[in-house]
Amino acid sequence: MNMTKDTKVTYGLLGLFGVLGPILFPDYTLSIAYLWMMVLMASTWDTLGGQMGYNSLGNILLWCGDVCLGHCPDCLLL
């Protein structure tokens, strides 16, 4: 992976904010923790769910809409 100087600076600032954020802004410690949890989940989603075939919410909704509304005429009357 070829990182530019701007990318390294951005990652460095984000890491610095992650370490110093709860110290500098103690009222927002829980929000910062949730932020980092979401960043971690988003960065690993390709491995956990994107490429491994787990259903996403969109796939589930489309499948349910097709099965329930497309193949069951009684559901259309509701």
Which tens digit of pLDDT belongs to each residue from 20-52?
Answer: 988 999 999 998 888 888 887 777 766 655 555
> Which pair of structure tokens corresponds to residue 42?
């988003």
Q: Angle at Cα 33 formed by Cα 29 and Cα 35, nearest 5°?
A: 115
Q: What is the pLDDT of residue 6?
A: 86
What is residue 27's predicted lDDT score, i.e. its pLDDT?
93
Hey, what are 21's tokens?
A: 């954020």
pLDDT score at 50:
58
pTM, full prediction: 0.47
Report pLDDT for 56.
63
DSSP H or E segment with residue 22: helix 5-24
The chain-wide mean pLDDT, for the chain, equals 76
